[in-house]
Structure 1
Amino acid sequence: MIKKIFKTKKEKGEGKNRVEWRKRFWLAAYIVPYEICMYKNKIKAQQYENRAQAKQTSYAYKSTSADENRRTNLYAMSAVGTSASFDVLGVPLLRVKLYLTSVYISLYTLHFAVKHQNKVSLLVRAILMLISGPKFSHQAYTCTW
């Protein structure tokens, strides 16, 4: 794709050439960064896959459910790294989504605490959650920190 953009066409007339190069410049301005991003993500995906294969061989003698989960997570990460659309300014989209979800939950808890002002401890909890981000306890199904 990049090679096609920079191929020169021999045409007569200075104006035609100038227009052709202008078209090629704008194509390059949009396509080259995209292709670089795709190439970087292919390398990342390959690295995750290599790590997953290394983990598989090292855990081959002892396979438990925790090891299976680790392998599954590594393969999931390698799948996420394959597309350029999963990156937001160099940060994986999954991480951005998780961060935004935690901020939303924190703001909702803060709104609830302000609405019911007699519960001061809830307000303190909401402020702490805004700072640190929520972690969910599996037993109580509530946000704790």
Structure 2
Amino acid sequence: MKELGVPGSLIELEQKVALLTQELDETREQQAAAADVLRVISRSAFDLDAVLTALTQTAIRLCEASRGVIWLSRNGQLFLAAHVNYPDEWVAYVRANPITPAADAVTTSGRAAFAGEVFTLRMCRATRAAARLLAISSPTMVPRSQSR
């Protein structure tokens, strides 16, 4: 029977059903997240802040994270565009002090934007200290792709 692609046991069949159910649940969650963002975008009074915040909230939910941030790159610096679940003091500080991307930047965002690659906390000793202050366990920065 196995030669015809039929599972050899009930356990194998149950495992396959469980895997397919999990994949279906993840797909539904992603579709619901996309629908949430599109609903915000389609409002008659377009509000970019609301769209970016909704996008950040969706990313947090899908990644099972506790916080999220979107930076705007302008004139060689990163400016805070949206954030969710960061302390007011941090928000005030980063608004007053834009990040300059560099190979030796002390922030994961600055390094990721400079390199154009995913950057994790493990790669930056200075950022680990900052992360402890913010109680962040494992920040990962993913720069947006751009054509150059």
Superposition TM-score tier, normalisation by shorter sequence: 0.3 to 0.5
Which structure's residues are more often strand, by fraction? Answer: 2
Larger relative contact order (Cα-Cα within 8 Å, sequence gap ≥ 6): 1
TM-score (norm 2): 0.36
TM-score (norm 1): 0.36
Which structure's residues are more often helix, by fraction? Answer: 1
